[in-house]
Amino acid sequence: MSEPPYHIGQRLSLKGQLCTIRYIGPVSDKAGEWVGVEWDDTTRGKHNGTHQGVNHFECRSSSPTAGSFLRPKQPWDPSRTFLQALREKYMPEEAGTGGDVVYFSGKQAEEIGFEKFSKRQAQLQGIHVLVLDHMRIRSHDLDRDSDAIEEICAHITDLDLGSNLFETLDEILDVAKFLPKLRNLTLDGNRIHTGPNHGTTLLNVKSLSLSNMLLDWHEICAVASRFPNLVSLTAASNELQAITNQTLPSRLENLDLSTNKFTTLSSLSPLRSIPALHTLSLKANLITTTNLPPDSLTTTTDLPSLSPTLETLDLSHNAISTWLPINALPTLYPSLAHLRTSSNPLYAHLTTPSGAPLTPEDGYMLTIARLPNLQTLNYSAITAKERLNAETYYLGQIAAQISLVTSGAEGVEAVKAEHPRWKELVEEYGEPSIPSTITGAAAKEGEKNPHSLAAQLLTLTFHLASPSSFPHLPPGVEGEWTDRFPKSFSIYTLLSRVGAKLGVLPMELRLVWETGEWDPVMRGIGVGQEVEEWDSSDEEAGEDGKTEGVMKREVELVAGTRGWGRFLRGVGEWCGLRGGRGRHDGKGKEKWTSQADQGRENSAREEM
């Protein structure tokens, strides 16, 4: 093929590289006529249609190197008809010599030959999927080939015609209509224009893929309208930034819009018109926020539902860096049960209210806690125990944030407004202990409000009895470290902070408070025995030998929303915390492993 009659929109192939003609004519100071093309491979060109400051044509791609100017006379690759491509790939006519007689152990075997093999292939027995992508197919001579196509493809259910030389949608439909059992059609990588609708529709097609075709939303809807019973539509990698109110087929359930350029969830609001939509993929877009008014994110009556039927949403590999979009999901998608949020910058920089870094596991829990109806997160099923742990942990984090507020009641309410589930979680688990802010006369210079942040913060010095038993101890953590905690911190939050420091999951830790008080140990009481009677005279008998000695009283700090400071009764009091791993006994109680098994011990001294 040397020099065809050119026209705008014409599809051509040069040395295996597909392109579309966007311009025919002179180019600036260059002599003669030129053909401006947009390459399917956007790295193949040299510009975007502009030469020496003059824009000769527009590329559909936003790439700065999708375009080139070529001389008209080129060694273009020849095109094929659909039937030619089908026979070349699935029914090669010269795959062997054919007709040879085969002998095994001196006996003549069946004379198969490739001619007979080709006849079997011609019937495509047992084959239901045809993959004819990158075959340089152009639709012509269909009247001549229609009977053969219909006979050969009578049982084909899946057809891939991606990256060919079709120029219009009608060319494709004119081929596909001869496949009576076609259910799944892939057109990825083609560059077509929809053109006038001449009425051809394919009622049996349920799944359609239009990825990397550089179609706008209006064109996608126009193509989809030719498949009125469509259930699944893929329109990835089309550089979409927003969608309009054009409708998609009413039976559509699954929509894939991944690898586009959406930046907000609100730009997808027209999807609420799809009555049966339950799966939406927005993977690898540029989504950062909802783009809805901040006040509406905490006032659910003002927050619109973007899709009342959506159950599965993929937001992985986006640009989400705050919790605002996550907090809004239960209202935007009230039926949401399955979510993917991995590989967003939000999870790379999580911290506690006081600024301490959080782990990806903490981010996982905080996501679960914000979405009460979620059943799976990042393909992992959420158990009842995980939800309990996540929600109590989240409630403790909110309480910690409130405890750091210094601007009074207004500041406290602002923090609560950041967390739409605050009220619901308090109703479920009870309100954690939160110190009051500085008010009135207590704020006078030189006075210290006993309810202020300064009065509530305590410094704890932690000691490790056996640092070598922690194989993944973070750098800088050796035998001792100090930290400051508000006494209002829940025990769960305390567990989380210690666990994060030691590289241990919070719910694997058990903390025991050494109260500093002593209990008598009666003589004659062995392991497993109990004191049946006791009165005050027993304490006075220590001098005459009735007591064996004394032992420290210890109290286990059980994970929950109760503030750990409630265990302390005075400033300067000794507070020892011993930590280790525990296990459930199946009855809702915790059992300790032996000290030899746990090999982990911490203690803490309270300081002001």
For the chain, give every domain's residue range. 11-70, 79-94+115-190, 206-349, 354-368+387-522+547-608
Q: What is the DSSP string of 505-558?
A: -GGGEEEEEEEEEEEEEETT--TT-------THHHHGGGGT-EEEEEEEEEEE-
Q: What is the mean pLDDT of residues 371-389?
A: 96
Question: Do 245 and 221 touch, CB atoms closer than 8 A?
Answer: no
Percent of the chain predicted with pLDDT > 70: 69
For 206-349, the fitting CATH number among 3.80.10.10, 3.90.950.10, 3.40.50.300, 3.30.1360.120 is: 3.80.10.10
What are the tokens at 521? 């140990």
Helices and strands: H and E segment counts in the chain: 14, 26
Could you tell me which CATH number the domain at 11-70 has? 2.30.30.190
User: Do 206-349 and 11-70 fall under one CATH topology?
Assistant: no
> Given pLDDT bands bounded at 50, 70 and 90, which one contains residue 100?
very low
Per-position b or e across 268-289, b if 16+ CB within 10 A of its CB: bbbbbebeebbbbbbbbbebbb
- Quote the CA–CA distance of 457 and 454 in Å, as a whole number: 6
Segment 491-546, tens digit of pLDDT: 777 777 777 777 777 777 767 666 666 666 555 544 444 444 444 444 444 444 44
Question: Do 310 and 332 touch, CB atoms closer than 8 A?
Answer: no
pLDDT at 225 over 80: yes
> Given pLDDT bands bounded at 50, 70 and 90, which one contains residue 259?
very high
Where helices occur in 32-189 by DSSP H, the ranges are 82-90, 113-123, 142-152, 169-176
> Given pLDDT bands bounded at 50, 70 and 90, which one contains residue 93?
low
Cα three-residue angle 96-102-105, rounded to 5 degrees: 150
DSSP letter, residue 193 = B
Q: What is the mean pLDDT of residues 77-89?
A: 94
- End-to-end, the C-alpha distance of the chain in Å comes to 88
Segment 27-47, tens digit of pLDDT: 988 889 999 999 999 999 999
**Range from 129-143, 189-203, 352-366, 481-495 carrying the lowest mean pLDDT:** 481-495
- Quote the CA–CA distance of 539 and 172 in Å, as a whole number: 97
Q: Is the pTM of this model over 0.75?
A: no
Q: Burial level of 164, CB count in 10 A (0-12/13-18/19+)?
A: buried
- Quote the CA–CA distance of 17 and 58 in Å, as a whole number: 19
